[in-house]
Structure 1
Amino acid sequence: MRMVSSCTRIPVPRIWTHFVWDERRYIVMSRVRGVELSSVWRTAGTQFKEAVAAQLANHFKELRTLRTPYGSRICSILGGPVRDFRLQYRHTGPFEDEDDFNHHGARFNHDIEFLPADMQELVAAAHSIKHDIVFTHGDLALRNIMVDGATVTAIVDWECAGWFPEHWEYCKSIFAAEWGEERDPWLRRALPVYYLEAEADSMLVRHLWRPLV
């Protein structure tokens, strides 16, 4: 959050301090005005949703201007393992490049030969596309967006942030599954859209992903 705050105009809480106590990590941060977007989204009107989606689009466009110092590596902000609840393990990597990430992370370290032929083709096609490595929030769920009226006051919960392929933000937002039946039209306004990659990722999640808890 400190990097995002110092390098962009994206609203995030101010970090006062962080510490480890009883083998747990804690962060003390400023209180953000407003409420979680999840508490008002489903009853909100079209004008409200348009305003929020437009702000998010601007914020994530700016986030994409950050450049990785680690080349093709998929990794944390400091170049180490990533934390991501969609991957095979919550802490995993770093991955040397996107091919390594696709096989050992996105595919849960499985080959795809056991999938039906049409699924194999879809996953292979999606994973053959090369993407830029960009800074990614990694958990753009409604609960992690704070609003005061129709103003986005903060994007919170950056624990899954890191350097990922550019389509990962969109795929992870679908994985979060909080946008409801009207999710896709509004999500497409807030983030760049990657249809093929998202379809392949949703298929892998349905067939291979298992929660750790």
Structure 2
Amino acid sequence: MYRILSTGHLCLVMERLQGETLEMLWPGLEEKEKSLVCTELKKAIDTLRELPAPGFYGGVGRTCIPYHLFWDPERKKEICGPFDSETEFNAGLVKKLRANDEMNGGYITSKAEFCERNLDTMLSKHAPVFTHSDLQRKNILVRRRSESAFEVALIDWETAGWYPSYWEYSIKVATMHWVDDWPRRLEQVVESWPSEAAVLRMLYQDLWF
């Protein structure tokens, strides 16, 4: 993406990727094929993790965290970020809880107070890593090269940025539908953080609504 300074036009260079979404393909794949796809996905995620961390938690270019749980209509930095530490990241979640609590007549005051006391203990010591942040099968394109080879590509980078290392796995586990073997397969793709996922599951509904 770049802007032509003389005219102000914003140009976005895109590439058309061939393939089908993993969401469409998954029910018809054999176990061996699923393993092959997951192996390629893991390579892609591992490549993201090799990017050197810039020392903050936030969007690309040290912008607000693009995930909707950190959205605030006034774009308050204490809620939206970027954050210099995981403690500030956690405080942003708590402040969003407080804001939702105030808008809805105090229905989650006790939960907000609990998180103020404990969230920094439950979620700590996680370095920022570059994260896709929406690793759903509908955002994964797959192209079959042969009976034993697949190409994969990630799309929909709207919420990508620098998040704590648990985020990629935990935010998907906290929000996914447990209807097939994808939760188990996800553990083959990204490092699993089940305790952190349980914490996010506890927070998600009250942060979103």
TM-score by length of 1: 0.73
TM-score by length of 2: 0.75
Do 1:87 and 1:105's aligned partners in 2 also have CA atoms closer than 8 Å?
yes
Cα distance between partner residues in 1 of 2:195 and 2:166: 10
Q: 1:83 to 1:30 in 2, by over 3 A?
A: same
How much is the aligned-residue C-alpha RMSD, in angstroms? Answer: 3.2
Q: 1:26 to 1:171 in 2, by over 3 A?
A: farther
2:87 aligned to 99, 119, 123, which one? Answer: 99
Cα distance between partner residues in 2 of 1:173 and 1:38: 15
Superimposed CA distance per residue, residues 131-161 of structure 1 (whole angstroms, 9 cap, x where no aligned partner): 1111111111111100013623311111111
2:36 aligned to 51, 56, 81, which one? Answer: 51
Cα distance between partner residues in 2 of 1:152 and 1:89: 38
Q: Which has the larger radius of gyration?
A: 2
Do 1:106 and 1:201's aligned partners in 2 also have CA atoms closer than 8 Å?
no
Per the alignment, residue 57 of structure 2 pairs with 74
Q: 1:203 to 1:154 in 2, by over 3 A?
A: same
Percent of matched pairs sharing the same residue: 27
Q: 1:121 to 1:170 in 2, by over 3 A?
A: farther
Q: Aligned with 2:187: secondary structure?
A: helix
Do 1:74 and 1:98's aligned partners in 2 also have CA atoms closer than 8 Å?
yes
Alpha-carbon shift at residue 114 of structure 1 (Å): 1.3
Superimposed CA distance per residue, residues 74-132 of structure 1 (whole angstroms, 9 cap, x where no aligned partner): 111211112112334497211221111112137734498713999999855422x2111
Per the alignment, residue 7 of structure 2 pairs with none
Superimposed CA distance per residue, residues 57-85 of structure 1 (whole angstroms, 9 cap, x where no aligned partner): 1211121111122x2x2111211112112
Per the alignment, residue 17 of structure 2 pairs with 32
Matched positions, count: 187
Q: Aligned with 2:40: secondary structure?
A: helix
Q: 1:77 to 1:88 in 2, by over 3 A?
A: closer
Cα distance between partner residues in 1 of 2:191 and 2:58: 21
Q: What is the one-letter code of the residue matched to 2:131?
A: T
Most deviating of 177-186 and 148-157? 177-186
